Amino acid sequence: MTAFLRRFARATPILFAAQSNSSHTNLRLPFTAIAAISGGVSFLYYHSSPNFAHSQEAEQVESKNIALVPDKWVEFKLQDTARVSHNTQLFRFSFDPTQKLGLDIASCILTRAPLGQDAEGKPKFVIRPYTPISDPQSKGYFDLLIKVYPEGKMSQHFASLKPGDVVEVKGPIEKLRYTPNMKKHIGMIAGGTGITPMLQVIEAILKNPDDKTQISLLYANVSPDDILLKQKLDILATSHPNLKIFYTVDNPTKNWRGGAGYISKDIVVKGLPGPSDDTLILVCGPPGMMKAISGEKAKDWTQGEVSGVLKEAGYTEQMVYKF
């Protein structure tokens, strides 16, 4: 275990092993660390109703205590890294310890890195969105869980960083504004690290005893080794009857007890709430999965039409949100 992860372990006495069937070290992490490492947030705060009116003075004080600047690239220094799985790493970035990052649920940040120069000699950049996985109320740091792809320009850049290096960040970029009990039943379809925004919403619901929303999650991965936060999710499902989870993998192992293959119409019909005005289906995953399940977003990055499996199952644009 790295020093970084040992510091996580000292944060709480609740420990259990990170899910891994690979040859890599079986890290022992606290409940809160597992939540962070796997794309969730253990201690979330609720953003008040959009109609809540802060006083001008309160807004000024709040803005001074926020590290992010919506219209400006801000440098954040890499504090530490840790390998979570065979292709996934955890990155912790630090900033003023009196400030919060400034995230709502569900929102993400934009990151950018230099990518040489254009024909005119001006700097070029690669820009990618990521969802921080640390507690929004944490001060002085935020964590990113990033899957490193062989051809991924930004993920390879992250993998090359050393403690003390900086990354430029802008945000937050609000996605779905979640409010308690906004729907009776929320269905979720996630692939790989697409679990990140789902966990934000899941934990926001489960943390609030007044939120009676039912949650059904279909979580698809290449193999059992690729499932992030399985133990965390299993514990949440066991302790909260309003959370149901179905796992499926493309390449099941001999002892795998979940589903096998892609998410189909039959799986959706059996595992998610049916089409209804009180139903919302959230989808997040790699482009191929999004195209097959819900259809891609429109060219202007609006939600676009619903197609694929969800359309076949009877869901409309009003019932589906694509992260």
Rounded CA separation 89/185 (Å): 33
Q: What is the 3-state secondary structure (H, E, C) of 107-125?
A: EEEEEEEEEEECCCCCEEE
- Binding residues for FAD are 128-130, 145, 147, 153-155, 196
Q: Look up residue 34 and give its DSSP letter.
A: H
Instruction: Kindly give, in sequence order, each residue whose CB lies less than 8 Å from that of residue 292, ignoring residues fewer than 6 positions away.
Output: 262, 308, 309
Beta-ladder partners of 188? 217, 282
Residue 159, Cβ density class (10 Å: 0-12 exposed, 13-18 middle, ≥19 buried)? middle
Binding positions: 128-130, 145, 147, 153-155, 196
Per the listing, tokens 């008040």 go with 48
Q: How far apart are CA 243 and CA 235, in angstroms?
A: 10
